[in-house]
Structure formats: C-alpha cells, structure tokens
Structure 1
Amino acid sequence: MAFSAFPDPVAAEAPIGIFDSGIGALSVLKHVTTLLPSDHIVCFADSGHAPYGGKSDEEITTRVLAIAAFMRTKSVKAIVVACNTATAAAIDTLRKQCPDLIVVGVEPGVKPAAVFSSTGKAGVLATASTIASTRFRTLCERITETTGIEILAQACAGLVDQIEKGDLDSPETVAMVEGYVMPLLKGGADTIALGCTHYPFVEPLIDAIAKRESANPVTIIDTGEAVARQLERLLQQKGVQRLVGDPGKIDAYTTGDAAALQYAFDKLLGKPATVTALKSGEA
C-alpha cells in the first residue's frame, strides 16, 4: 500500500493520530494531551479487530496500514502506534511505506526497567505476541549483554480483554493480575514495566499487589510519558511549532462499539471526545 506524501512544511494545526487495537491508546493519549494540550487528536480504537495478540504479523500489518490510510484522510502530521504488539509486528513496514510521516512506536519498557533495577532482575508484563516477537527478544538480549540485568517476561493472557470490557477491579481481574505479577516478584524483580498500553489502567492493582507481597519497593514503569516526549521532540525536529491556546479537540473512531469507547473516555480518561463508529470497509 503506497501513500501520498505530506505537504512540506507540515501545518502545526494538523492533528496527531494515535491508535491501538482497542482502548489502550487512551493511556498514551493521556500523556500526549498533558504535554501537547492544544493539539487536535485523532484517536483510533481498532476494537472490531481486537485483540491483536492472537494474530499473525501479516494480519497485524494489514490492519496497521489500513489505519494509517484512514489517518491520511484526516491529514495527520504524525502517527503514534500506541500498541506494543503492532509496534513489534508492523512499525518498520509502516515507516518504509510512509517515509515522510512522523511515526512513533511504543517499547515495552525494558530499558527503563533495567536502569531502575537494583536487584539485577527486571520484570515485564506483556502480551504473548510481544514477548514472542523478534524485536522484543533482541532488545532483552542486548540489555542483558550490556548491563547484566536479567529480564523476567510474563505473558498476560486475557488481561487485555478484561480491560476492554472495563472490568478493572473485579475479583476475576484481581486474581488474573495477581497470577501474572507474583512470578515476577518471586523471581526477584524490583521493577515492573507495563509492556502493553492497556496495562496502565490496572496499575493501581499491580502497585497494591507489589506493596503487599514484596519486602522491597517495586518501581512500576509506564512508558506513555516517554512516548509523548519523543513525539514532541520529533515534531520540533521537523519544524512543527508547538500549539499554544485552548485545549485541542479529540475526534475518536472505532471499528467496535462507539458507546463502549465513549464510556472509556469518560471513565478512564475524563476528557471529552467525539466518538464515531466506522462501518465495515471504512478502515
């Protein structure tokens, strides 16, 4: 799939595109709107094709390119791939297809987890697809080789689905999170990176379990702020001035249920957004 080039220079008023397989985009959007509060945001939740974790790299890449094509129709100045699974599977292809476009991906937080670890063991909670990816394995191996820090990776089957349902603190979700966090704590991890953009929404659960079960302080790492800062840096590098003024609007689109996404904005983000459900074939 080929895309037409952006006009140069990019208008500062052009929106920023952010997407994920579902509501995980909102955890990154929170940091972007804090750092760039006057920018117009186009948020895309691909809930109709979620979760990405069980799909092949080819399937994920197809979805990513389709979403990018939709973002082009909104004349975005940048795209944030707010999904670890999509970043691992498709960001290289997206950058090749869109060499003129600012593209920012998310990493599973392995680097900061290693930096902040004092026990020499850093934990990462992620989807099975992210953990199985070549990108993730290579990153972990490189960090272990250069720092000596052991990376303990824990796949969290089903957790994205719970969060998508808005089920953040039920007994079922609590038990699920405990089952994933405890092996990292027993393994000696004193840092836990949230390697999926959905997981910050259950960070209070993770923190409570760590405080209860670990004799030592445990640092929990959400990479959303680092993603927002990288976006700001690349926009400045491209010569796009930072907007100053009234809060920017948020236009949200979903391949799933508009009411569910609206509820997520209201409950999880507390920000107003115009939500539109797309018809089949629109993205």
Structure 2
Amino acid sequence: MALIGVFDSGVGGLSILDEALRQLPEHDYIYLADSIHAPYGERSSEWIAARSLELCRFLASQGCNAIVVACNTATAQAIAHIRSELIDIPIIGVEPGIKPAALQSSKGIVGVLATEATLKSDKFNDLLGTLPSSCQFIKQAGAGLVPLIESGQANSEETLELLAKHLEPIQDAGADTLVLGCTHYPFLRKSIRKLLGDSINLIDTSDAVVRQLKRKLETLHPDADSDRYGSIKFISSKDAKALLNMSQELMQSNLSQHALEWQLELSFK
C-alpha cells in the first residue's frame, strides 16, 4: 500500500481527499492543513513557494510515496519549485479546469472563481493563453470565501451573500459554465446552485487530479489490495481536532471505514 500526502492551506483539500477515498480507499493518507496561515491566496508568491516546499518536505519525511498539492494557489505559485527539490516523489498538483470548461461551454462564456493569487499567476495565465480566443473568460477573485469556509460557515447566510456578490459579474456576462478554481469552492456547490440554478455547468477537477494520482500509484504499487480501507492521519498547524470535525462535516466519504488519527500540531509554525 502507498502512503499519500495531501496538503492544502486549510480544509479545501478535503474535496480532493474525498475523491481519493472514493477512487483509492485502500491506500493510507496523511492530510496536512496549514490552517494557521490560511488563506494562501492573499500572500506573496515567494512566501507561498517557500512554505509549500517546507510542508511537502515534511510529508516526504513522514514516508509519503506521493504528494498531492491540493491547493490551487500553492500549485500555481510553487509546484515547479517543489518538483525540482523533491525529485524522487511524484508531486501531483491541481489547477482550474479552464480547458475542459472552454470545451464544454456552448455559449463560449466561462466564469472562473478563484483566489487572487491563482488568477494573477504565470501558470494560470500561460494556460489561458493556449485556449481559443473565441471563448470569453470572466475572472473573479473570491475574496473572503475561504476564511468563511475555514470557520465552518460554508452554508451560512453571510457566505451566501458574499458569494452572490462575487458571482454577479459572471451571471451578468451570461456564463453557462463556472470553474471552481479553488479546492475550497466545491463545498459551496449547494449555495451556488441556490443562486444560479441547475442550468450552469460546474467544473471541479477533483476527479482528474485523483485519476492522475492513480496512474502514478499504479507504477509504484501495481498489486494494491483493493479490499482494504486505509488509514487517515489529520495534521494541522492550528487545530487538528477541529480539522477532523470539519472533515466529518464536509466530506461525503464514510470515514468510519478508515482508521482515523490526528496530530495536535506541526513541530514547526
């Protein structure tokens, strides 16, 4: 069995872990939330790159066979640096699904809800430059949404009101497709549907990320025992018990099938 590290600035990467448990329940996981420093989207690119590498090195030191950088901001700002430093471990990143969105949009108008850091990153804009100019992308930073989700208010009225303000330009432009460009945002699906209805197509790349992880693991552990349920260790730089409680609230997976453990804090801040 493989030990897989999943890292995010906070609880957003639980959306990736949830999909991993659906597709690859037999492996063991460490979920690392750097909640004391969340959100990353408002920090400098230099800070994000240094901190992300530090946390990935920590996961490597725990014996992880693969690491998922389950944070769009960290992927955009740090994935190349991490891969250059940790050359012996597969590093899987996440990025907004703007390419599939462009292919699926019948009107050629796509909304992209992401953090400011992701929208400004070279990685995001380089990818955007490869897509057809006939597709219009309405880019919107979701300022303030991540702290609300981190505090357990994903379905609160305050979150709904803020989300409505962020989605207004996308709705006014007539977008028929919306990219959830931060791993926190899939936890807002219910609120998005309440505001925009069922006609808009939501793009979340969790499935694609885990399929890429699966391909990497098949080369490392081709004989994995699919009849077992692996363990999950939750580690937080702020409050691991709160992280575990949030995972039980936000995730759809039956966590009782897995041996659960939590570590009170990281040895460094």
- Normalised to the residue count of structure 1, the TM-score between the two structures is 0.89
The CA deviation string for residues 91-129 of structure 1, in whole angstroms up to 9 with x for no partner, is 000111112211100011111111110001111110011
Q: What residue in structure 2 maps to residue 169 of structure 1?
A: 155
Aligned partner of 1:168: which letter? A
Distance 1:40 1:75 in 2: 11
Distance 2:225 2:165 in 1: 44
Q: How does 1:3-82 map to 2 (within 5 A)?
A: 13-82=1-70
User: Which of 69, 74, 78 in structure 2 is aligned with 1:90?
Assistant: 78
Q: What residue in structure 1 maps to residue 180 of structure 2?
A: 194
Secondary structure (helix, strand or coil) at the match of 1:118 reads coil
Q: What residue in structure 2 maps to residue 4 of structure 1?
A: none
Q: What residue in structure 2 maps to residue 106 of structure 1?
A: 94
Distance 2:224 2:136 in 1: 40
Shift of 1:60: 0.9
1:185 and 2:171 aligned: yes
The CA deviation string for residues 211-233 of structure 1, in whole angstroms up to 9 with x for no partner, is 18xxxx21011111110011101
Secondary structure (helix, strand or coil) at the match of 1:107 reads coil
Question: Gaps (5+ residues) in structure 2?
Answer: none
Q: What residue in structure 2 maps to residue 229 of structure 1?
A: 211
Q: Which runs of 4+ in 1 moved over 3 A?
A: 237-243
Q: What residue in structure 2 maps to residue 275 of structure 1?
A: 262
Secondary structure (helix, strand or coil) at the match of 2:64 reads coil
| Structure 1 pair 151–242 and aligned structure 2 pair: CA distance change class (3 A) | farther
The CA deviation string for residues 62-99 of structure 1, in whole angstroms up to 9 with x for no partner, is 11111112112221110000000000000000111112
- Normalised to the residue count of structure 2, the TM-score between the two structures is 0.94
Distance 1:99 1:279 in 2: 24
Question: Gaps (5+ residues) in structure 1?
Answer: 1-12
| Structure 1 pair 61–240 and aligned structure 2 pair: CA distance change class (3 A) | farther
Aligned partner of 2:132: which letter? T
Distance 1:39 1:79 in 2: 13
Secondary structure (helix, strand or coil) at the match of 1:143 reads coil
Aligned partner of 2:202: which letter? I
Contact in 1 for aligned 2:95/2:205 (Cα 8 Å): yes
Secondary structure (helix, strand or coil) at the match of 1:167 reads coil
Contact in 1 for aligned 2:235/2:266 (Cα 8 Å): no
RMSD of aligned alpha carbons: 1.5
Count how many residue pairs are aligned between Structure 1 and Structure 2. Answer: 264
Shift of 1:49: 1.4
